[in-house]
Amino acid sequence: GAGVSQTPSNKVTEKGKYVELRCDPISGHTALYWYRQSLGQGPEFLIYFQGTGAADDSGLPNDRFFAVRPEGSVSTLKIQRTERGDSAVYLCASSAETGGNEKLFFGSGTQLSVL
Amino acid sequence: SQKIEQNSEALNIQEGKTATLTCNYTNYSPAYLQWYRQDPGRGPVFLLLIRENEKEKRKERLKVTFDTTLKQSLFHITASQPADSATYLCALATSGGYNKLIFGAGTRLAVHP
């Protein structure tokens, strides 16, 4: 595709439910990132994938959060037993290489609302 | 503690003037710094990257400076236009070989005709 695609664009759920957020990166991009952005704040790093493996998951808040990228392209962020504090915009980004100074291409995000 | 600070108040300027946005940081030693633009309901869009050994970088009407002694980056938009109105985010990367970016909260710029 032309850009990073995230689905759904909006997700409303009830406290305690399970949600999955999907990210389709730009074709051929090996690096994939998840960030979380709360209202009025900058994005906050969650996890980085290089290919299929999670090279750095140090930003995941707790063990309710998990992400996979089984074939090295599409990634899914999974949140169990959602809490109201999980409400935020979840952003996915990809980049072509992993030199460390490649620009990130972000999707438009998934707005998660936990009622 | 480690902090990145951007002007929290919106910056209002007249069309045609130069907008200057500030990014200050403490207790980081960034390998490089990036600036992104974010419009409401959209993800950030990359604008410029400047490395620790570079003083200044330009791209069309945009200019970024990086002073590692002052621990500050300035972002300038010359001949500003209403279409430049958006939130501008600065982001630091230490090292590690990947974009584990630490973002500031952003500064909202409003350019008035």
User: Which of A43, A45, A108 lies at the smallest CB-CB distance from B41?
Assistant: A108
* Per-residue model confidence (pLDDT) at position B49: 94
Which chain A residue's Cα is nearest to B31? A101
Alpha-carbon dihedral A36, B56, B94, A96, rounded to 10 degrees: 60
Tens of pLDDT, residue by residue over B57-78, are: 999 999 999 999 999 999 999 9
Residue B50 C-alpha, separation from nearest chain A C-alpha, in angstroms: 9
For residues B2 and B47, which has the higher predicted lDDT (pLDDT)?
B47
Distance from chain centroid for Cα B67: 13
Return the exposure string of A30-68: e unless at least 16 CB atoms fall within 10 Å of the residue's CB, then b: bbbbbbbbeeeebbbbbbbbbeeebebeebbeeeebebe
Q: For the ranges A21-30, A68-77, A79-88, B2-11, which has the lowest average pLDDT?
A: B2-11
- Residue A101's pLDDT is 67
Range in B59-63, B91-95, B103-107 with the lowest mean pLDDT: B91-95
Q: What is the pLDDT of residue A98?
A: 64
Burial of B5 (0-12, 13-18, 19+ CB in 10 A): middle
- Give the residue from chain B lying closest to A40, CA to CA: B105
- pLDDT tens for residues A61-115? 999 999 999 999 999 999 999 999 999 999 999 998 766 667 899 999 999 999 9
Section B15-24 average pLDDT: 97
Provide the 8-state DSSP code for A103.
P
Q: Which residues lie closer than 8 Å to A83 by C-beta, 6 or more apart?
A: A15, A64, A114
* Distance separating alpha carbons of residues A99 and A82, to the nearest angstrom: 35
Locate the chain A residue with the closest alpha carbon to B97.
Answer: A100
At residue A47, the 3 state secondary structure works out as strand
Picking from B32, B99, B101 by the largest number of A CB atoms within 10 A of its own CB, the best residue to mutate is B99
**B14 has a pLDDT exceeding 80:** yes
Q: Cβ neighbours of residue B14 under 8 Å, at least 6 residues apart?
A: B111, B112
Please give the pLDDT value at position B2.
73
At residue B36, does pLDDT exceed 60? yes
CB proximity list for A87: less than 8 A, separation 6 or greater: A112, A113, A114
User: Cα separations (Å) of A44 from A89, B12, B104, B105?
Assistant: 10, 27, 9, 10
Judge whether residue B31 has pLDDT over 90.
no
* CA distances for B20 relative to A92, B59, B75, angstroms: 29, 15, 6
Q: pLDDT confidence of B28, banded at 50, 70, 90?
A: confident
